[in-house]
Amino acid sequence: MLRINHFSKQYALGRYAVQDLTLHVAPGEIYGFLGHNGAGKSTTLRAVAGVLDFTEGEIAIGGHSIRTQPVEAKRIMAFLPDNPDLYDFLTGIQYLNFVADICAIPADTRTARIRQYADAFALTGDLGSPIGSYSHGMKQKLALVSALIRRPRLLLLDEPFVGLDPSAAYTLKQMLHELCAEGGAVFFSTHVLEVAEKLCDKLAILKNGRLIEAGPTAEIVGKSNLEEVFLQLEREEAAK
């Protein structure tokens, strides 16, 4: 579903944000992307989404290169950044219809999907209010609904659980499993190691722009827990 091959992103003065990253996410997988602040997670996700140009390598989504076939690649994915830009002057339903218009979702289909996801996140009653009046958690739920109504084959999420209450977080986890059960895939970053350990089929850990560990969650965690594994890898890298 997602193939990242030897991806690098270089900024000024020769500094690499991400260097030589190779990562493959298969259909049906929930893939967690871990690392400290500044490790390169958001840079990678933005490059996969086609928001950020990159220096070296190739990124393909469903066989479509994000460089040479960006429209085809973006048609089958949805990206939710860590701080999504919403239009405060629009109501929630106006924003969702705006997204549906861009994605050419038919009227009857969008109505059913908006109802399905807004009801699930207990947001339906607030869709007539201006987004500017929403709390942070409500904005996060609206952004998630806007991504899910597209029914993407690949869902890219940057820190999706930040700001969600326990009920909404549980609902999101269920929806990610449902998407993957239907042949889709999820690639998301998180600082919540407990969520990553319980939710993800596979994990990748990034440090200073380089991949230091990747593979099935059960193999990485072993008989320990992800927090201990993460700290041990950090210590090993610091000692090099």
The tens digit of pLDDT for each residue in 46-99 reads 999 999 998 799 999 999 999 999 999 999 999 999 888 899 999 999 999 999
Domain range list for the chain: 2-76+152-239, 90-151
Bridge partners of 18?
9
Q: Residue with structure tokens 């596979």?
A: 202
In the predicted model, what is the mean pLDDT of residues 224-234? 73
Indicate the average pLDDT of the chain.
92
Q: Report which of residues 59 and 208 the model is more confident about.
A: 59
Q: Has residue 156 got a pLDDT over 80?
A: yes
For 38-97, the three-class secondary structure string (H helix, E strand, C coil) is CCCHHHHHHHHCCCCCCCEEEEEECCEECCCCHHHHHHCEEEECCCCCCCCCCEHHHHHH
- Per-residue confidence at 194, pLDDT binned at 50, 70, 90? confident
Residue 219: burial class (beta carbons within 10 Å; 0-12, 13-18, 19+): exposed
pLDDT at position 193, please? 84
pLDDT at position 54, please? 87
pLDDT at position 223, please? 60
C-alpha closest to that of 126 among 150, 145, 149, 112: 145
- In degrees rounded to 5, what are phi and psi of residue 53? -70, 160
Q: Are strands 210-216 and 202-207 parallel, antiparallel or unpaired?
A: antiparallel
Q: Report which of residues 19 and 85 the model is more confident about.
A: 19
Under CATH, which number does the domain 2-76+152-239 receive?
Answer: 3.40.50.300
Q: Residue with structure tokens 């991806």?
A: 7
Q: Has residue 240 got a pLDDT over 70?
A: no
C-alpha closest to that of 157 among 195, 194, 129: 195
Percent above pLDDT 70 for the chain: 97
DSSP H or E stretch at residue 147 = helix 136-148
Percent above pLDDT 90 for the chain: 77
Bridge partners of 59?
4
Whether 178 and 115 have beta carbons less than 8 Å apart is answered as no
DSSP character for 106? -
In the predicted model, what is the mean pLDDT of residues 199-219? 92
C-alpha closest to that of 227 among 190, 183, 178, 184: 190
- Per-residue confidence at 162, pLDDT binned at 50, 70, 90? confident
CA torsion sign for 99, 110, 160, 219 is negative
Q: Has residue 230 got a pLDDT over 90?
A: no
pLDDT at position 215, please? 93
pLDDT at position 7, please? 95
Angle between helices 92-102 and 136-148 (to 10 degrees): 30
Q: Residue with structure tokens 């380089």?
A: 210
DSSP H or E stretch at residue 144 = helix 136-148
